[in-house]
Amino acid sequence: MKCFLDQKILITGASSGIGKLMAEAFAAEGARVILWGREQAALEAVGKELTERGMRCASYLCDVSRRDSIYDTAERVIREHGPIDILINNAGVVSGRPLLEISDAEIEQTFDVNALAPIWTTRAFLPTMIERGRGHIVTIASAAGLIGAPRLTDYAASKHAAVGFNDALRSELRHLGHRGIRTTVVCPYFISTGMFEGATAATPLFPVLTPDYATRQIVRAIRRGRRRLLLPRAIGVVFLARLLPAPVFDWIARALGVTRSMDGFRGRRSG
* Amino acid type, 13: G
Q: What is the pLDDT of residues 189-221, one digit of tens each?
A: 989 888 888 887 666 778 889 999 999 999 999
At 1, is the pLDDT very low, low, confident or very high (cuts 50, 70, 90)? Answer: very low
pLDDT of residue 206: 81
The answer, yes or no, to whether residue 236 has pLDDT greater than 90, is no
Q: Domain residues of the chain, as ranges?
A: 8-260
* Mean pLDDT score of the chain: 93
At residue 74's C-alpha, the angle toward residues 14 and 140, to 5°, is 40
Q: What is the CATH number of domain 8-260?
A: 3.40.50.720
Q: Give buried/exposed letters for 51-86 (b at 16+ CB in 10 A, else e).
A: eeeebebbbbebbbbbbebbeebbeebeeeeeebbb
Q: Are 77 and 57 in contact (CB under 8 A)?
A: no
Helix (H) or strand (E) holding 86: strand 86-89
Active site residues: 155
Cβ-proximal residues to 103 (8 Å cutoff; 6+ apart), any chain: none
The answer, yes or no, to whether residue 33 has pLDDT greater than 80, is yes
Q: Which residues pair with residue 230 across a beta bridge?
A: 187
* Amino acid type, 106: E
The answer, yes or no, to whether residue 99 has pLDDT greater than 70, is yes
pLDDT of residue 193: 87
Average pLDDT in the 156-176 region?
Answer: 98
- HSE-CB of 108 using CA atoms within 13 angstroms: 4
Q: Are 184 and 138 in contact (CB under 8 A)?
A: yes
At 271, is the pLDDT very low, low, confident or very high (cuts 50, 70, 90)? Answer: low
* Amino acid type, 74: A
Q: How far apart are CA 271 and CA 266, in angstroms?
A: 14
Q: What is the end-to-end Cα distance of the chain in Å, rounded?
A: 29
At 270, is the pLDDT very low, low, confident or very high (cuts 50, 70, 90)? Answer: low
Tell me 134's DSSP state: -
The answer, yes or no, to whether residue 73 has pLDDT greater than 90, is yes
